[in-house]
Structure 1
Amino acid sequence: MKILLLEDDHNLNKIIKVSLEKKGFFIDSFIDGYKAVDKILNDSYDLYILDVNVLGFDGHKTLEFIRQKDINTPVIMISAKIDIENIKKSYNLGCNDYIKKPFDFEELYLRIEYHLSHLNLEKTSELQKDLGNNFSFDLIEQRLYKHKHEIDLTVKEKLLLTLFSKNINNTVTNEMIHEYVWSSKEMQTVSMRSVIHKLKQKLKSGMIINLRGVGYKLIK
């Protein structure tokens, strides 16, 4: 799962980023709201964590921008501001949660798990995504299983399989893969083909099909 973090305290930003990466999440972190919004324009995320009190383009403005683009993705606000007006403004702009600083990291992690689980339950009615052919993929833990045996995945393979799992039997375009797996960064076509080829080898033959010139499809 991909998370965007906006926190202008360098030390706290680093602590949250490293801690969440140890939990298996993929984090793009920013201390500048303008740079965060520029990234949001060209990428997609599964959850946002926004500090309210950021100089310039602050957390509230970033939240407002996100909701203009996407009304469903969970947004957690974090702030040392505990007055009711800031909390009310955050919820009125569409946040899903508001955590007051200082907070325990485990509290943040539990709330992330809750919101991702709730979202996935609404979208897929299950956290363990059935891929067919005795394969399943845990969308939260980013783990691929055949029966109960776990199959190791690289970082890029996890991101790619997350995208496929959310779009079973539907076309995943090359542009969608470029945006989600490579965060729209420059890459060579051979890199995408290489990752897809390696993922195909870990699944049953024929589960991922190539739609020439368009993209790919995971067939259940």
Structure 2
Amino acid sequence: MKLLLAEDEKELSNALVAILKHSSYTVDAVYDGQDALDYILTSDYDGIIMDIMMPHLEGTEVLKIIREKGISTPVLLLTAKSETEEKIKGLDLGADDYLTKPFEMGELLARIRAMTRRKADFAPNNLSCGNLELDRASYELKTPGHEPVRIVGREFQMLEMLMETPGRVVSVDSFMDRIWADGEADVNVVWVYISNLRKKLSALEATCEIKASRGVGYSMHEKV
């Protein structure tokens, strides 16, 4: 499970990263709001832990932007005791939970488990883009008038990442971190799988396509 930690107090950030990694999470750590936004827009996370008061962009500003873009990744805000109004603002903007500093590490881990469980509970069974539908239960890829194609394994995982938020760029590093976490594959394997998926979309006469953003990653878009 992959988390983003956005916390500008580097000593606290280092301690949290060590504990989260010890608890079997993969963690990216950033120290300001702009970097947090850049990482969220180009990577795929199971949860985000974000301090409210950060340089460049505050946590609530980052939250507002990602929710407006349709990114529903669970967000846990870290707040100081004096930031009551900011807590309310964060919850109104779509934060899933907040934790007041100082906090016990055990409580942080419990809050993370709770919010990532909620994400799984509310994840839709079907993902769609244009006339294309991916059934997460049956692993079938469908378009009207065509026989469904069963898609499994890493191809399914890649397509799921692309279709969770159509239009959002998924970086090659995100694919590698999530699907080839053992680090044994070369990054070129991503292109091979993308090529195979494109052939399946073409055979199904899908009205959406996988686009490449040179040097950044891939995204799913409806054809114009």
User: TM-score, length-normalised on structure 2?
Assistant: 0.60
- Between the aligned partners of 2:197 and 2:23, the Cα distance in structure 1 is 36
User: How many residues were matched structurally?
Assistant: 165
Q: Distance in 2 between matches of 1:103 and 1:215?
A: 50
Match of 2:109 in 1: 109
Alpha carbons of structure 1 residues 79 and 65: separation in structure 2 relative to 1, 3 Å: same
Distance 1:114 1:48 in 2: 13
The partner residue of 1:191 within 183, 186, 190 is 186
- The answer to whether the 8 Å contact 1:44/1:179 transfers is no
How far is 1:124 from its partner? 6.8
TM-score norm. by structure 1 comes to 0.61
Deviation at 1:95, TM superposition (A): 0.5
- Cα RMSD (Å): 3.6
Give per-residue Cα distances to partners, 1:163-193, cap 9 Å, x unaligned.
729849x9xxxx857252347xxxxxx7046
Contact 1:3 1:49 (C-alpha < 8 Å) held by counterparts: yes
Matched, 1:39 2:39: yes
The residue that corresponds to 1:164 in the other structure is 157
SS of the equivalent of 2:186 reads helix
- Are residues 74 and 215 of structure 1, via their aligned partners in 2, closer, same or farther at CA, if it must alter by over 3 Å? farther
The match for 1:81 is 81
Match of 2:113, SS?
helix
CA shift at 1:40, angstroms? 2.0
Alignment partners' CA distance in 1, 2:75 and 2:114: 12
The 5 A counterparts of 1:145-156 are none
Residues 1:11 and 1:79: Cα distance change in structure 2 (over 3 Å): same
Pairwise CA distance, 1:84: 2.9
Structure 2: gaps spanning 5 or more residues: 126-135, 140-152, 164-168, 178-184, 201-224
Call closer, same or farther: CA 1:161–1:113 in 2, change over 3 Å.
farther
The aligned counterpart of 2:19 is 19
SS of the aligned residue for 1:77 comes to strand
Q: Which amino acid aligns with 2:196?
A: R
CA distance in 1 between partners of 2:156 and 2:187 (Å): 14
Query: Relative to structure 2, which stretch is displaced further, 98-107 or 37-46?
Result: 37-46
Instruction: Give the match for residue 140 of structure 1.
Output: none
Q: What's the secondary structure of 1:103's corresponding residue?
A: coil
Flag the 1:78–1:18 CA change in 2: closer, same or farther, 3 A. Answer: same
Secondary structure, counterpart of 2:13 in structure 1? helix
Give the aligned partner of residue 147 of structure 1. Answer: none
